[in-house]
Amino acid sequence: MARRIWLTAVLLVAVLCSLAAGVEASGTVTFYVQVVPGLKISSPDQLTFEPVAPGQSDVQELSLTVWSNVRWQLLVEANDYGAEGGLSGILEVGQSGSWREISAGSVIHSDQPPTGPDGVVFQTPFRFTGSYDDEPGDYDFQVKFTVVPAL
């Protein structure tokens, strides 16, 4: 009798398992995602040069942070620099031990690899050299940094 109850219980469990397996349903959904280039730059609000006389230079470093998920390049331009009533002195950016005068859209870092989520920090030196054409006084101007996908 115990054997019959045990066999009946095993048979009942087998039937319940097969019924439970036959009761479920499932489906598959295909997800589509488009990842686009993501570029971001961060810099301090200002950079202050020490006072300079004509022919003298001062060098100051600016810390820039770039985030990108694609190869990228960094451009710089001085807005309204040298405009009427503005400075005549020379503004340059340092790259690999040499100095280049800043012009519209000057590339200061090219074909850089993606940065990852922590970004990349650059210490970028700038040099201002005073001119005899500049009247004594305080001057300010804007420098624009732009990060774009590398070509």
Query: Which of the four CATH numbers 2.60.40.1090, 3.90.230.10, 2.60.40.10, 1.20.58.390 does domain 39-149 have?
Result: 2.60.40.1090
H-run or E-run covering 73: strand 72-79
- Domains of the chain, by residue range, sit at 39-149
* pLDDT at residue 67 in the model: 97
* pLDDT tens, residue by residue, 95-136: 878 999 887 778 888 999 999 999 999 999 999 999 999 999
* Model confidence at 139: pLDDT above 70: yes
**At 19, is the pLDDT very low, low, confident or very high (cuts 50, 70, 90)?**
low
**Which residues 6+ apart lie within 8 Å of 67 measured at CB?**
38, 39, 40, 41, 115, 117, 119, 120
* Model confidence at 39: pLDDT above 80: yes
pTM, two decimals, is 0.75
